[in-house]
Amino acid sequence: MTDDALAGALALVDRALEAYASDPAAVATLRGYRARLQEPLRVALAGMVKAGKSTLLNAIIGEEIAPTDAGECTRVVTWYRYGHTPRVTLVPVAGEPRSLPVRRTDGRLALELGGTPPEEVARLVVDWPAAGLRALTLIDTPGIGSLSTEVSERSMRFLLPEDTPSEADAVVYLLRHLHATDLQFLESFRDTAAGRSGTVNSLAVLSRADEIGAGRIDALVSARTVADRYRRDGGLRALALAVVPVAGLLAQGARTLSQAEFAALSEVAGLDRDARERLLVSADRFVRADPALRTTPQARQSLLDRFGLFGIRLAAVLLRSGVTEPTPLAHELARRSGLDALLRLLGDQFTARAAELKARNAVLGVETLLRERPAPDSDAVAAVLERLTARAHGLAELRLLAALRTGTVALPRERAADAERLLGGEGVSAGQRLALPEDAPADAVGPAAREALQRWRRLAESPLADRATVEVCRVVIRSCEALLAERSAPLTPGLVLTGD
Ligand SMILES: Nc1nc2c(ncn2[C@@H]2O[C@H](COP(=O)(O)OP(=O)(O)O)[C@@H](O)[C@H]2O)c(=O)[nH]1
Ligand SMILES: [Mg+2]
């Protein structure tokens, strides 16, 4: 299924290259699409200023490289992609790309534009040898709805270009509180021609989730409830495949926890109850001079910056409940931060579908080209395109999934949920599509797939089914048939991007 879409898209672009051979601009565009099909999936992190994008990007990569908070570099789009050696390249709007020095302060990259004004920078490209970047290229975007409309516009132009397909294959959209600007953005992403059926390539993160519970230890539980509410009632269902709460700062700290930090956290955890509660009552109190502590106020300040009061409290609880080593502490903190759940979603929804998402973008690109610059041979290219979209079932699944999510196709709620799952809306593995328990034996797939197939065949043959329903049935039935045919395929989800 997967290879079909990718091979088909490559063949389509090659055919278009022939048709447009005498049009240098079109050739350059098409070559770009071709290269892109063979690169890792591009996932952009988007959201308002200070939503926690750069922090979350670091957490996903597992290294503290992206600069956070203000600075001119946070005003330009920055790509983080896999490379053997660290390298930073500035790509100007006009002129040749040039290398920038790779300088780090406290681990993070000190990205400076070397005199070029931000508005003359198309993007910065950071090549970095981080394992997490092998499967995904991550793109940090400047905040939307920022005080500077020019910065905000730059992000929107990147995510929603007017005349070309988006440069990102998928988007993780961070929101702190459901804000009108957030919804507006998600809606335009969904509706724009280039981002058509954007639902299938967006995930929403309720970011800085630790702040929702005012630093209480159960903050993530409250955040989960808020995220569930957003998903149900907030109009987000039509706009993103899932909404998950993540405490990005804690996640970043957990993935880069140092021995010294572990020692300092252990000292806090080892205090007697009264002293500990007094110390952790507020951020101010935590960093005050205290002769009873070995950890200096500066070190405590740094702990606070890296983990937040919530993270320090949580670490103290874990250390008191029997965690004794840095690695298990780091893992438990990452799990509780919500990062593991997000990585699993990225794996299930994006990485496992990378071929289809990339192919979809190439198809949109060729479609746009055919529409806007017809060539003598356009009809032949259009025919190849049509055959591809009809044949590549993965693309049909994405299209139908988006239609179901956005309510363009109306089905009774339970039926729609069944269809979405079978189409891979909760992950593309056989187990996820058939709602099998995680420990189900491989031979459970056959009977479950057959049952689903019969269920959807009955509906298709029902005299009450209208044309739209029959069309849904056709695609779902094909997904069931593919499950039966691929019974030997792995039961478990696709690649999960955990680091160490
Ligand atoms: N408490 C808390 N603070 C966070 C979290 N994520 C980011 N921050 C802080 O919020 C500020 C903005 O974060 P940044 O990642 O630069 O946001 P961006 O503008 O969206 O890239 C920084 O001071 C971060 O330390 C989080 O999960 N919890
Ligand atoms: Mg940022």
Q: What is the pLDDT of residues 88-102, one digit of tens each?
A: 999 999 999 999 988
Q: In this predicted structure, what is the pLDDT of residue 261?
A: 97
pLDDT confidence tier of residue 400, bands split at 50, 70 and 90: confident
pLDDT confidence tier of residue 492, bands split at 50, 70 and 90: very low
d(CA 426, CA 1): 17
d(CA 429, CA 435): 10
Of all ligands present, the nearest one to the C-alpha of 53 is 1
Q: What is the mean pLDDT of the chain?
A: 86
**For the chain, percent of residues with pLDDT exceeding 90:** 51
User: Tokens representing 382?
Assistant: 């259009």
d(CA 237, CA 462): 29
Contact between residue 440 and residue 379 where contact means Cβ atoms under 8 Å apart = no
* Residue 293 vs residues 30, 47, 270, 276, 304: alpha-carbon distances, Å: 63, 40, 11, 11, 15
Amino acid identity, residue 217? I
- How many whole angstroms from its chain centre is CA 174? 10
Q: In this predicted structure, what is the pLDDT of residue 47?
A: 87
**Ligand 1 touching residue 68 (CB < 6 A):** yes
Contact between residue 351 and residue 41 where contact means Cβ atoms under 8 Å apart = yes
Q: In this predicted structure, what is the pLDDT of residue 497?
A: 40
Contact between residue 249 and residue 311 where contact means Cβ atoms under 8 Å apart = yes
Q: In this predicted structure, what is the pLDDT of residue 180?
A: 67
Q: In this predicted structure, what is the pLDDT of residue 195?
A: 44
Q: In this predicted structure, what is the pLDDT of residue 426?
A: 87
Of all ligands present, the nearest one to the C-alpha of 68 is 1
Q: In this predicted structure, what is the pLDDT of residue 70?
A: 63
Q: What is the pLDDT of residues 180-199, one digit of tens each?
A: 666 676 666 655 533 454 56
Q: Which residue has the tokens 């680091």?
A: 499
Q: What is the pLDDT of residues 149-183, one digit of tens each?
A: 676 777 777 776 666 667 888 889 898 876 666 66
Residue 500 clears pLDDT 60, i.e. is over it: no
Q: What is the pLDDT of residues 371-398, one digit of tens each?
A: 999 988 899 999 999 999 888 888 888 8
d(CA 217, CA 413): 36
SS3 string, 402-424, reads HHHHCCCCCCCHHHHHHHHHHCC
The pLDDT of 452-462, averaged and rounded, is 94
Atom of ligand 1 nearest to the CA of 140: 21
**Ligand 1 touching residue 53 (CB < 6 A):** yes
294 CA to centre of ligand 2 in angstroms: 34
Lowest mean pLDDT among 52-56, 255-259, 486-490: 486-490
Radius of gyration of the chain (CA): 24
Q: In this predicted structure, what is the pLDDT of residue 207?
A: 94
Ligand 1 atom 13, closest CA:
52
SS3 string, the chain, reads CHHHHHHHHHHHHHHHHHHCCCCHHHHHHHHHHHHHHCCCEEEEEEEECCCCHHHHHHHHHCCCCCCCCCCHHHHCCEEEEECCCCEEEEEECCCCCEEECCCEECCEECCCCCCCCHHHEEEEEEEECCHHHCCEEEEECCCECCCCHHHHHHHHHHHCCCCCCCCCCEEEEEECCCCHHHHHHHHHHHHCCCCCCHHHHEEEEECCHHHCCCCCCCHHHHHHHHHHHHHHHCCCCCCCCCEEECCHHHHHHHHCCCHHHHHHHHHHHHCCHHHHHHHCCCHHHHHCCCCCCCCCHHHHHHHHHHHHHHHHHHHHHHHHCCCCCHHHHHHHHHHHCCHHHHHHHHHHHHHHHHHHHHHHHHHHHHHHHHHHCCCCCHHHHHHHHHHHHHHCHHHHHHHHHHHHHCCCCCCCHHHHHHHHHHCCECECCHHHHCCCCCCCCHHHHHHHHHHHHHHHHHHHHCCCCCHHHHHHHHHHHHHHHHHHHCCCCCCCCCCCCCCC
**Ligand 1 touching residue 58 (CB < 6 A):** no
The pLDDT of 288-293, averaged and rounded, is 91
Q: In this predicted structure, what is the pLDDT of residue 219?
A: 84
Lowest mean pLDDT among 94-98, 131-135, 177-181, 495-499: 495-499
Q: In this predicted structure, what is the pLDDT of residue 496?
A: 39
Q: pTM for this one?
A: 0.86
Q: In this predicted structure, what is the pLDDT of residue 495?
A: 39
Top-confidence residue, 142 or 253:
253
Residue 16 clears pLDDT 50, i.e. is over it: yes
d(CA 370, CA 363): 11
Residue 464 clears pLDDT 90, i.e. is over it: no
The pLDDT of 67-85, averaged and rounded, is 83
Q: Which of 53, 61, 69 to mutate to test the pocket of ligand 1 (most atoms within 8 A of CB)?
A: 69
Residue 124 clears pLDDT 50, i.e. is over it: yes
Q: Which of 49, 108, 208, 222 to mutate to test the pocket of ligand 1 (most atoms within 8 A of CB)?
A: 208
- Order of strands, sheet of 87-92, starting from the edge strand that comes earlier in the sequence: 98-100, 87-92, 121-128, 78-82, 136-140, 41-47, 170-175, 202-206, 243-245
**Ligand 1 touching residue 51 (CB < 6 A):** yes
Ordered by start, the domain boundaries in the chain are 251-337, 409-500
Residue 336 clears pLDDT 60, i.e. is over it: yes
Tell me whether strands 121-128 and 78-82 are parallel, antiparallel or unpaired: parallel
142 CA to centre of ligand 1 in angstroms: 13
**How many CA within 13 A on the CB side of residue 312?**
27
Residue 1 clears pLDDT 60, i.e. is over it: no
112 CA to centre of ligand 2 in angstroms: 14
**Ligand 1 touching residue 55 (CB < 6 A):** yes
